[in-house]
Chains A and B, each alone.
Chain A
Amino acid sequence: NAGVTQTPKFQVLKTGQSMTLQCAQDMNHEYMSWYRQDPGMGLRLIHYSVGAGITDQGEVPNGYNVSRSTTEDFPLRLLSAAPSQTSVYFCASRGGQYNSPLHFGNGTRLTVT
């Protein structure tokens, strides 16, 4: 009963480095999304996907890329990390109905120096 699995839990990058945050879910959910959480800001939507092969931008997409080649996986890529991307990142998924709650991963704390 894994739910939503995010890796890594912690990461430190230098400015300009690239990396991929991994997200996988085993609930056969069509909808997946990435949020970032900054102090005093709540959670803000970065990118989302409503199914394999379909992605779209959320509120704060700049500096991030996503792809959805399978139902299970939804990786988030930082092509050239910047200190402004220091944050806690959450992946989430939900079922197809609008009243379905989001199931969150445990988050990745990313620090960019």
Chain B
Amino acid sequence: AQTVTQSQPEMSVQEAETVTLSCTYDTSESDYYLFWYKQPPSRQMILVIRQEAYKQQNATENRFSVNFQKAAKSFSLKISDSQLGDAAMYFCAYRTVSGGGADGLTFGKGTHLIIQP
């Protein structure tokens, strides 16, 4: 079974600065998908960014980008120009493409991001 590890329970960054959230995963598969979700205090789960393992190029979405290191099984999220609205829990998640098993997402335990004004 796949596992996802977020080693930083909490991170703090000054507004307008850059912060990187780490995520590592364990899998024996060669093809899969990785996601970052944001959960603000409203409890809503919001997709931030996704990466397909067979793509070498790192995904970017405006101020959000990832550093995908397939060999190291690492998938970190970089947030540039941090804004107060970025304060939230961030979850890294893995999805298999094998078609078997639960076919759901395996989530890490989350990183609580605090933005200091």
Contacts and interface: CB of A to CB of B under 8 A. Distances in A.
Nearest to B99: A98
A74 B63 CA distance: 35
Interface residues of A, number: 25
Given A42-B91, A98-B97, A99-B50, A31 B103 contact: yes
Contacts of A112: none
Interface of B: 4, 9, 33, 35, 42-45, 47, 50, 52, 91, 93, 95, 97, 102-110
Interface stretch (A16-24, A62-70, A102-110): A102-110
Nearest to B39: A37
A34 to B, nearest CB: 9
Interface of A: 31, 33, 35, 40-45, 48, 50, 56-59, 88, 90, 92, 98-99, 101-102, 104, 106-107
A101 B47 contact: yes
Given A41-B109, A42-B107, A58 B91 contact: no
